[in-house]
């Protein structure tokens, strides 16, 4: 795909994400999408495809970006605790800059076709596996106790839920929030310093 097509594609995804944020997947008509991206129905289909395909592309491109922002931090010799802190910061930075996209991807996932749902679930599992491996490596290294799927869900629930409340103009930066969350996860409420 040529450079211009790539740019158009990205612009379409960004614009439609905003529409889906405001009106929901079912509340957004194809007519409205065409108008917002300034393309005819045929050109829209040429660039991406159906409305469902656009939702799929939005979800996959978000997961891909989160994956790409995370992987470099685990391909290091850092100890697991440092890796955990770095991937947490990367995820919340990504949430902070793509909050609308995450809200759409999380909310509207059930409207994807079965095949697309399978692919999105697969990509999400792959992303969760990165977290699971870091948590497991820390346990293996004796840095903390053994972990399983419930821990990974607890951790990712905490982080993913920030899409609902974190604002880019909030009092704490995404990195500060990530650090607070990681501290809480590592040491618990009982390990919190009294002077924080």
* Spatial contact of 78 and 137, defined as CB atoms under 8 Å apart: no
Give least dist CB 90 to a second copy, A: 18
Catalog residues that contact a second copy under the rule CB under 8 A: 23-27, 106-108, 111, 135, 138-139, 143-147, 150-151, 153-162, 164-165, 172, 177, 180-181, 184-194, 196
Q: Which is nearer to a second copy, 96 or 155 (by Cβ)?
A: 155
Give least dist CB 193 to a second copy, A: 6
Give least dist CB 69 to a second copy, A: 20
| Cβ within 8 Å of residue 39, ≥6 positions away | 12, 47
Q: Which is nearer to a second copy, 11 or 180 (by Cβ)?
A: 180
Give least dist CB 87 to a second copy, A: 14
Q: Which is nearer to a second copy, 48 or 181 (by Cβ)?
A: 181
Q: Which is nearer to a second copy, 2 or 193 (by Cβ)?
A: 193
Q: Which is nearer to a second copy, 8 or 105 (by Cβ)?
A: 105
Phi, psi of 165 (to 5 degrees): -135, -20
Give least dist CB 55 to a second copy, A: 12
């Amino acid at each position: 795909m040529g450079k211009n097509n790539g740019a158009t594609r990205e612009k379409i995804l960004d614009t439609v994400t905003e529409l889906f944020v405001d009106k929901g997947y079912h509340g957004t008509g194809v007519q409205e999408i065409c108008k917002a991206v300034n393309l005819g129905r045929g050109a829209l289909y040429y660039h991406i495809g159906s409305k469902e395909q656009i939702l799929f592309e939005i979800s996959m491109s978000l997961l891909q970006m989160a994956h790409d922002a995370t992987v470099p931090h685990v391909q290091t010799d850092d100890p697991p605790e440092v890796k955990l802190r770095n991937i947490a910061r990367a995820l919340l930075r990504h949430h902070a800059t793509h909050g609308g996209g995450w809200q759409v991807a999380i909310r509207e996932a059930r409207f994807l076709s079965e095949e697309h749902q399978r692919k999105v679930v697969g990509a999400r599992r792959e992303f969760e596996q990165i977290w699971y491996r870091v948590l497991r490596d820390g346990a293996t290294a004796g840095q903390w106790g053994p972990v399983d799927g419930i821990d990974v869900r607890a951790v990712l629930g905490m982080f993913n839920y920030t899409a609902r409340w974190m604002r880019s103009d909030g009092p704490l930066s995404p990195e500060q929030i990530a650090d607070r969350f990681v501290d809480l996860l590592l040491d618990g409420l009982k390990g919190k310093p009294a002077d924080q």
